[in-house]
Structure 1
Amino acid sequence: MTADTATDLFEESRPVLTGVAYRMLGRIADAEDVVQEAWLRWSSAGREDVREPRAFLVRITTRLAIDRLRHLQSRREAYVGPWLPEPVVTEFGPSVPDTAEQAVLADSVSLAVLVVLESLSPLERAVFVLREAFGFPYAEIAVTLDRTEAAVRQLAGRAKRHVEERKPRYDVDPAVRRDLTERFLSAASGGDFEKLLDLLAPDVRLVSDSGGKSKAPRRIIETADKVSRFLFAVGRDMSVEMEARIVELNGGPAVALFIDGNVDTVFQLDVEEGFIQCVYIVRNPDKLSGLSVNWAAARG
């Protein structure tokens, strides 16, 4: 295998490798570091005996992601306030032409699912991502994790039950979710307290991630009354320099607040039975800088 062929094979696999690493780690920078390390190992390895390059690369990436996740978990225990995954722009495009497959990929990258994955062990998370998000066979996952197929099936069953018990229980029509997001933005930015309250489930939760680097609640806020009062205050304090847009992040609509072209805040909503069940707010600038760069590049 020539160096050019090896490079081409790696670049063809890069979207899958990045997708696996991001779902494992919840941050693009960490995912890209893992993929870069996988490239270094691939470029320096003896590739003559590699019969299935994509499977080999997924194996390397997954093992590196597990190692990094174990390291990151100790750091996250000292994180200031709740920890949320980094929001990402999700465009599945022509490489994923099937609508059903797009839906699976979008669901597996949603904030609600990624938050639940945080409570899994690194091995459970790896099995869930490889099996549920990317459809890898149990036998291939067993080789990747150096486990028996029976052990992998057991891990997969446990991880899937855990996720199903904790993620939103109902499939939401994308049009309904977008409509609720638009109404949420209108009510919050327009200072309409009653309309905002009407959108929220009685037991709604608000989870905000600032990492201690921006102003945001460091505890989860619960109940419609408390959440609506907080959001009402946020809407009232929005400056005239701030621009709000509906954008597509993590497989669904979100509200992004921009100041001078840079993303200041992201809101995403969990929706069930026509009501908002959870409001996720990301304000940690380290998790928003990538979005600012993306949209600046898109504008040329």
Structure 2
Amino acid sequence: MRVDLFDFALPPERIALHPAAPRDAARMLVLDGVGMHDRAVRDLPACLRAGDCLVFNDTRVIPAQLEGRRGEARIGATLHKREGPRRWRAFVRGAKRLRDGDTIDFGAGVLATSTARGEDGSWALDFAGDEPVELLLERAGRMPLPPYIAQKRGIEARDADDYQTMFANEPGAVAAPTAALHFTPALMAALAAAGIAHETLTLHVGAGTFLPVKADDTVDHRMHAEWGRIDAATADRLNAVRARGGRVIAVGTTSLRLLESATAEDRRIAPFEGDTAIFITPGYRFRAIDGLLTNFHLPRSTLFMLVSALMGVERMQAAYAHAIESEYRFYSYGDASLLLP
């Protein structure tokens, strides 16, 4: 499909620079079989049914933004995928100054060697020493805020908490599964009281999620792979939800993409561990999920293509036009949409 079908004009002032407070006070646009409704995230228990199950991503964002030097040259690196115990693939600012085997000093005693330049311009970075890389990043790294936030206001101390979900448990992501940022213990208690269950899986979100689609046609776009896991017990419980007549509702496109990667044509969810580079565009037949809670996405992005695959391009264009006119807040720290096809 032509990528320009997924374009729309977004006023810059609609981009949220901080999350709602409290988190579940964010607005929520509901699209279902009846129409379009303006609600709030804290209304979610009333928008779902007893027996439904929400699926969250429990990945934890690591401080994956690094600033360093190779000699006199300044080098910036955003880690996006682990390739070994001490090796991370990274998008590098100042990459033209790097050669294979160069040492980059990121400060605080953190050194890495550049190697294996990829076709996409990324570099593999091998971190020196014996300390776990996670500890090195805690010393030298910063939270990897999306560029559309970081370029407007910089990274603040509060982002260390604001950019983690309440489910964050498994370190490895370089971007938050932002739909889950809206959830609070009070909202989870209300959902449980309404008979709505929840499960967790792990998908370590990579920085590739922010890369623009440069191709003119979706068939020519290549997704970056991300590592994920669904254990056997979780898969069994989700299949049981369906067997009882409940719906599986993904919280975030990351949960959705991993669930779809793990599900066969017979709609049974299987255990999964490994990489996925699934790219969902209109025409895709969803097997694992019956709905999605997600934030509002960038024009021409793979994520807007995904929600258009779920609900239809024209319907999503109309919904986003309504959200812009109604002053919904967009992107990672913005408001939510509940999509129930």
For Structure 1 versus Structure 2, the TM-score category normalised by the shorter chain is under 0.3
Question: Which protein has greater RCO, CA pairs closer than 8 Å, 6+ apart?
Answer: 2
Q: Tell me the TM-score normalised to structure 1 length.
A: 0.26
- Structure with greater strand percent: 2
- Structure with greater helix percent: 1
